[in-house]
């Protein structure tokens, strides 16, 4: 197995996804903290922009200290992990299940998380809005659609009874929902699946509260 280094931040939901995938696939890795809030954000500093010119985390470095071996964007990273370590697979073999897993994943990846990330929330605040209220209302609205989808696809997990990439993306987004005070009782399917996943060792080990850079309680 190649040397793997994850540039992460404890409360980053996108990094949280990759931590889950690394754990599910039992891939050893080094954790490198990029503090998103200290001194205006380390992700904006020159040393990190050489790693990821977009200034976002997570970023995954493979095969040693070489910026050309950086993979960024959580979905691309997880796709890479899937290919280097195909088992257990995060994609269902059944084509309809696979399509549904990707649809749920993309609804979170494109339709929810980007609209409540740090950059967007800062812009909302700059325009005089309430960033926390924005995030809460956004997630509340989007989760209504997600709940409707999952009532049709879920078994124990998002897609039947096997953990898939949809679950990897769901749990960090639910973490954000709780953070912004969303009433999760409105979404019984999402809440049930999330609670079960939170008991899985790979998800527990990826939780923000147990990361090395998480604030000490």
**Residue position matching structure tokens 């999402």:** 190
Q: pLDDT value at position 163? A: 98
Tokens (6 digits) for 44: 């904006």
Domain spanning 4-87, CATH class: alpha beta
Q: pLDDT value at position 28? A: 94
Q: pLDDT value at position 65? A: 58
Establish whether domains 4-87 and 95-203 are of one fold.
no
Q: pLDDT value at position 47? A: 87
Secondary structure, 3-state, 11-35: CCHHHHHHHHHHHHCCCCCEEEECC
Would you say 183 and 93 are in contact if contact means Cβ atoms under 8 Å apart?
Answer: no
Q: pLDDT value at position 67? A: 56
Q: Domain map of the chain by residue range?
A: 4-87, 95-203
Q: Can you list the residues of the chain whose pLDDT is less than 70?
A: 1-2, 64-68
Q: pLDDT value at position 174? A: 98
Q: pLDDT value at position 124? A: 85
For 46-68, the pLDDT digits (tens) are: 989 988 899 999 999 997 655 56
Other CB atoms within a 10 A radius of the CB of residue 147 amount to: 17
The matching CATH number, chosen from 3.30.1370.100, 1.20.1050.10, 2.40.50.100, 1.10.4000.10, for 95-203 is: 1.20.1050.10
State the pTM of this model.
0.93
Q: Would you call 63 exposed, middle or buried from its count of C-beta atoms within 10 A (0-12, 13-18, 19+)? A: exposed
């Amino acid at each position: 197995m190649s040397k793997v280094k994850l540039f992460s931040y404890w409360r980053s939901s996108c990094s949280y996804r990759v931590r889950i995938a690394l754990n599910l696939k039992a891939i050893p890795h080094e954790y490198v903290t990029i503090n998103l809030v200290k001194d205006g954000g380390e992700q904006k500093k020159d040393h990190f922009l050489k790693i990821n010119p977009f200034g976002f985390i997570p970023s995954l470095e493979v095969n040693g200290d070489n910026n050309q071996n950086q993979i960024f964007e959580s979905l691309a990273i997880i796709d890479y992990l899937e290919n280097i370590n195909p088992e257990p697979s995060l994609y269902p073999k059944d084509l309809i299940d696979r399509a549904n897993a990707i649809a749920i994943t993309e609804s979170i990846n494109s339709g929810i998380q980007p609209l409540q990330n740090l950059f967007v929330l800062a812009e909302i605040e700059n325009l005089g809005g309430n960033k926390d209220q924005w995030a809460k209302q956004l997630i509340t609205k989007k989760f209504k659609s997600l709940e409707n989808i999952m009532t049709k696809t879920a078994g124990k997990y998002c897609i039947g009874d096997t953990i898939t990439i949809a679950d990897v993306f769901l749990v960090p987004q639910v973490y954000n929902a709780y953070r912004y005070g969303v009433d999760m009782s409105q979404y019984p399917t999402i809440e049930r699946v999330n609670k079960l996943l939170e008991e899985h060792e790979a998800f527990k080990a990826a939780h923000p509260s147990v990361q090395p850079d998480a604030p000490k309680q």
